[in-house]
Every structure is written in C-alpha cells, then in structure tokens.
Amino acid sequence: MAEVFVAKFAEFPDGERKIVQHGAHDIGVFHWEGQFYAYANVCLHQGGPACEGLIMHQVEDVIGPDKTLVGQKFSDTQVNFVCPWHGYEYDMKTGECVPDRRLRLKKYNVVRRGDDVFVSI
Amino acid sequence: MDLPLSSDRTWRVDEFDSGKALAHAAKQAKQRNYDQFPIIDVDSHHYELESFNEILEYMPDPVLKQLAKMANSGNSKGVGVMPGGVGYQDMGGRAIRYPLRRIEKTEPGVHRDVSLTRRWMDVMGIDIAVLFPSPMLQLGLHPQVEAEVSLATAYNRWLSERVLAEESRIRSMIYLPFNDPDASYRMVKEFAGKKGVCGFMITSVRFRPVHHNSYMKVYSAIEETGLPLAFHAGYNWGEQSMGMMNKFIAVHALGFVWYNMVHMTNWVLNAMPERFPKLKVIWIESGLAWLPFMIQRLDNEYMMRSSECPGLKKLPGEYITDMFYTSQPMEIPRDMSLLESTFKCIKAESQLLYSSDYPHWDFDLPSTIYDLPFLKEKAKRDILGGNAVKLFNLDIGAGKRTKVA
C-alpha cells in the first residue's frame, strides 16, 4: 500500500476537490464538511471523469401528511458528486450510485499527516 | 463564470476545453485501437444559434430576414423566431458542457463549429461525423410554413458554405422544410451533389403525414440521388399528450420515440418501401428498444387486417428490418440478453449505425458498441463504421485511420 500526496491541508479548503493521477490510478479526492473522501475517477456508466463535475445536494420530494406533493427541496444532509458527462450521481459519503446503490465507485482511504493530505492506493 | 448550485452555492469556472473534458474518451480510443478501423458517427450535433447572425444573412425572404435579425439582436438568441421552449437538456448544469460551452475558446481562423467538432471527433476517435442542428430539430413546429422554409434554406446554405465546404470529415443530411412539399423538393434539387451532403433529413417533430401524395415527388427525387432519407427524432413538451407529463425525463423518454413511431407506422403500412424500393431510410435518435415493439405489434395486427394494407408484399416487420437505425441513445438493460435479442431482431450487424449524439446530454461513446460482450470484432467494426461506409458510399481509403481528403 503506497501513499500518494494530494495537497497541503492549507491549500485544500473545505468544499474543494483534487484529482490525483498516479500510474494507472485516477482518483478524485473531496474535502467536504470536515471530512475527506476519495473515489476512482471513472464513472461506472461510460467511463467519464465521475469526480470532476458538480457537487449537488440530493433533490428530495416533499410529501404532505395527506400524501400530496408539496414541492421539492435540496437535502440538508445528502450531497452527491455528479459525473459531468451524463449526470450519474454518486453519494459523497459512500461512493454509491444514487439511482442504484448496488453500484459503487472504488473507495480510497485518505490520511492526513501533519500539514499534508495523502491518499492510499 | 459562476455556476449556480444547490443550497445557494456557486462554482467558479474560468475556462473549459471539451477536448480535455473528454480525456477519458481518448484513453478508451487508444485502448481499443480505434485507429485501426473507421468510425463513422451518423448523428452528432452543433448549436446553430451560436452562429445565428451568420445564418440569418442567408435568409432569402427580405421581410422575414429583417424580422429575424431584429428579434435576434438582443440577448435572447432566437426567441421570437424559433419554436420550441421548455426543456432541461443540461440537467441543471449537471451536464456541465452545456453552460461552459459559451466560454470555450477555439482556434483562430477556423469556423467555431468546425473547430469544436474536430476537437471532440479527435479525442473520441471519430473519422467522419454527420452533423445536425439542435434547436432547429423543432423548426417543424413553426406556425408559419414560410418561416420554416426560409430558415431551413438559410441554415442549409450556411452549413454548406461555412462548415461542409471547410472540413471534409464533417457531413450532413440536409434539413427538409417538410411542411412545404414543393420547397422540400427544391431543397433536394439544390443540395444533392454538394460537398458534404450525404442525405436528406426530416425532423420528426411535426404534424404532417409522411404518406401524403404531395410528398411522392420528394421521395422520388431523393431516391434518384441514391442518398438516404433520415427521420431525426425530437421532443415537444407543447403537445397535449406530453403536456400531461411534469418531468423532462418523461417527455424526453417518450417524445424521442413517439414521433418516429407514428411516421414509421405510416411509412410501412402505406407501402412506401414498395413504392420507393431503392430509397434507403434511416431512423435517428430513438434508441433501439422501440423496434421489437413495433415489429411485433404491426406484424400481429397485419395478419388480421391485411386488407387495409394491400400495398405490402411482406410483413411490416420485414420492412422495418430492411431499414437503418442509429444506435444512440442505446438502452442498456439490466438483463443484457434483452439488448442481444434486440440486435438480432433488427439485424443490427448490417442495419445499425453508430451515433454519438455528442454534445447532447445522453451522448454515447464508441465504447458503448465496442464493449458489448455478445458482438464479434467484425460486427463491432461494421456497426461503428463499416455499415455507414456502405450506406453512404464513403471513400475511406485502406482501412487505417481515415482522414478523408
């Protein structure tokens, strides 16, 4: 298991992402709400750069107590990163493909050593 | 530019290069040796409204031209001139190339459409691309027939002179202003034989029966050219039945198939393949899953009601499998045996033509065909390029990567 340098912690603010390429590895590393997440940057659909698109909160239906649709909102808790090629959405915290959670991106461990952030491959 | 995101966040993006955004496609092309055989993309797009001021200069009617130029002079490109309307092709910016396209830089001295088209073709490994408009796919809904004719004339002349004449790797099937049969006939006569013209195209979103007698001279004229006739699918949220749907996914999923289902039904049951036996017909951008349905449905009813279709000399489905189909958006089912059955059903190894539909939101890379586990290498190569080479009679040289001169 090797560790690949991602960025200085100070240069990787919350809400940002870095793309790390090392040999055959193409990895997207996200810093989101105090946590780091890293996934293979290859979409399970057609191989697009899954980690390089928008970061969007999950869209949710708001259903009233009488089962009527009240409207839609963005989730307060679930955020997804979106493959920019075709819009496949992945759960930031798990790498699962949101429309079919049986599918998930390969996950990598991220470690912080002092001022540096590394990803384990 | 600042892209609006969820929860009132924004994302600042200062530059965009579609070639870099497709870097993974370039890797696929290298891994799969696309340079060893031709890949012909039979349905791709550009955004003609980006060049709308240039196009409007070609409008033959001076009054319509002045109206259109004035309507297009503000910030609202095409509004007031072009039909169409609500539709969220960019998925709220999730297909990020939509909003970022406006900041993409192109090489100086080359038309922007040529430059951008070459860029994605090169990274995907495409040798020849058949280019179609985007918003004009709904031009058949224009309430003024004369405006469809004038805008189509302008677009075709502009495309021919400014794009097709400049780049031999870009081809197109000429837009027919189908609401005017006489004008459609004149369009065939004007453009047949011009550089880069590889067929004629009817935008399917319209309300004219393809079997009407007024069109017979149009089909005869196309048949004489030896070039194919294509029906290009589209959507229309303004239609009453589509108006019952509240989500674009529904309108797109059904709309892009519906109009081609209507036209194909009329085309086959009115025996057009018997009347025009040498006319090659292509159905574009409806995917593939509709075809087993059409074949089964029409064959079953025809066996009971053949007296309504005396012009047919074989089953409707047999005419359907003689025609050609572009692959995108190819439905990838959970059970791949369904797709394999569909390929067998439509004789895909000889009748299917790869298409990307790039840069639209649901584009397909060549790998969608190349990676299918049930196809042999020859079938992959025929669908990706060989079938189109035969259909369009393309001169592609000796089989290596082809840059057609």
* Over residues B298-313, mean pLDDT: 98
Which residue does chain B place closest to A41, by CA atoms?
A: B24
Q: How far is CA B19 from CA A87, B16, B121, in A?
A: 18, 9, 9
Contact B3 A54 (CB under 8 A): yes
**Min Cα separation B10/chain A (Å):** 10
Please tell me the distance in Å from B27's CA to the nearest CA on chain A.
Answer: 10
Tokens for B400?
Answer: 């290596």
Q: Longest C-alpha distance within chain B, in Å?
A: 65
Secondary structure percentages of chain B, helix, strand, coil, to 5:
50, 10, 40
* Interatomic CA distance for residues B219 and A92, integer angstroms: 54
pLDDT band at B87 (very low <50, low <70, confident <90, very high): confident
Residue B400 in this model has a pLDDT that exceeds 80: no
Whether the per-residue pLDDT at B402 is higher than 50: the answer is no
pLDDT attached to residue B73: 84
- Please report residues of A whose CB lies closer than 8 A to that of B363: 85-86
Q: Kindly state the helix (H) or strand (E) to which residue B185 belongs, with its residue range.
A: helix B181-191
Instruction: Tell me the two tokens of residue B180.
Output: 């005017």
B31 has a pLDDT exceeding 60? yes
pLDDT at residue B76, as a whole number: 66
Q: What percent of chain B has pLDDT over 90?
A: 93
% of chain B beyond a pLDDT of 70: 97
| Mean pLDDT to the nearest integer, B259-265 | 98
Residue of A21, A44, A54 to mutate for B, most B C-beta atoms under 10 A: A54
Give the residue numbers in B contacting A (CB under 8 Å), as ranges. 3, 5-7, 9, 11, 21, 23-25, 27-28, 91-97, 361-365, 367-368
Q: Which domains can be identified in chain A, with CATH numbers?
A: 3-120 (2.102.10.10)
pLDDT digits (tens, 9 = 90+) for B99-125: 999 999 999 999 999 999 999 999 999
A105–chain B nearest CA distance, Å: 16
Tracing tokens 């089964």 back to the chain, one arrives at B296
Give B374's pLDDT tier (boundaries 50, 70, 90).
very high
State the number of CA atoms in the 13 A half-sphere of A120 facing the CB: 9
Q: Are strands B197-203 and B229-232 parallel, antiparallel or unpaired?
A: parallel
CB spacing of B23 vs A89 below 8 angstroms? no
CB within 8 Å: A53 and B94: yes
State mean pLDDT over B284-309.
98
B249 phi, psi to nearest 5 deg: -55, -40
Q: At B403, is the pLDDT very low, low, confident or very high (cuts 50, 70, 90)?
A: very low
Averaged over B350-366, what is the pLDDT?
A: 98
Please indicate whether, in this complex, the C-beta atoms of B361 and A86 are within 8 angstroms of each other.
Answer: yes
Identify the contact set of chain A against chain B, taking CB-CB distances under 8 A: 15, 42, 46-49, 52-57, 74, 79, 82, 84-87, 89
Q: Cβ contacts (< 8 Å) between A79 and chain B: which residues?
A: 6
**Is B11 close to A86, i.e. CB distance below 8 A?**
no
Considering only alpha carbons, which residue of chain A is nearest residue B91? A87
Classify strands A17-22 and A25-32 as parallel, antiparallel or unpaired: antiparallel
pLDDT tens for residues B172-196?
999 999 999 999 999 999 999 999 9
Confidence of residue B396 (pLDDT cuts 50, 70, 90): confident
Task: Tell me which residue of A97, A59, A52, A63 sits closest to A78, measured CA to CA.
Answer: A59
Q: Residue B404 has what pLDDT? A: 41
On average, the pLDDT of chain B sits at 95
pLDDT at B75: 67
Chain segment B291-303, per-residue pLDDT in tens: 999 999 999 999 9
pLDDT value at residue A1: 80
- Residues whose CB falls within 8 Å of the CB of residue B120, separated by 6 or more in sequence, listed in order: B18, B19, B22, B126, B358, B359
Mean pLDDT of B71-81: 76
**Rounded to the nearest 5 degrees, what angle is found at the Cα of B180, between the Cα atoms of B85 and B144?**
40
| B-chain residue closest to A52, CA distance | B21
Chain B residues inside the 8 Å CB shell of A17: none
- What's the average model confidence in pLDDT over B240-258? 96
C-alpha distances out from residue A52 to A16, A103, B14, B190, B353, Å: 11, 19, 15, 46, 31
Domain ranges within chain B, ordered by starting residue = 36-392
Tell me the two tokens of residue B315.
């089953």
Phi, psi of B10 (to 5 degrees): -135, 160
pLDDT of B401 strictly over 60: no
**Among chain A residues, CA nearest to B332:** A45
- Both tokens of residue B249? 């996914």
pLDDT at A104: 98
Mean pLDDT of all residues belonging to chain A? 97
| A101, two tokens | 């959670």
- In this prediction, the residues of chain A whose per-residue pLDDT falls under 50 are none
Residue B398: band (very low, low, confident or very high) from pLDDT cuts 50, 70, 90: low
Q: Which residue of A has its CA nearest to B331?
A: A45
Q: Are strands A107-108 and A89-91 parallel, antiparallel or unpaired?
A: unpaired
Cβ distance of A49 and B23 shorter than 8 Å: yes
Closest-CA distance, B51 to chain A, in angstroms, reads 24
Question: Do B19 and B365 contact (CB within 8 A), yes or no?
Answer: no
- Nearest chain A residue to B7 by CA distance is A74
> In 10 A of CB A115, how many CB atoms?
10
Residue B402 or B34, more confident: B34
Architecture field, domain B36-392: Alpha-Beta Barrel (3.20)
| Residue in chain B nearest A50 by alpha carbon | B24
As for the ipTM of the complex, it is 0.95
CA distance A49 to chain B (A): 7
Nearest to A84 among B9, B95, B362 (CB): B95
Give the pLDDT band (50/70/90) at residue B200: very high
Structure pTM? 0.96
Average pLDDT value for residue range B317-339? 97
Report the SS3 class of residue B286: coil
Report the run of H or E that residue B216 belongs to, with start and end.
helix B216-225
Residues of A with Cβ-Cβ distance to B365 under 8 angstroms: 46-47
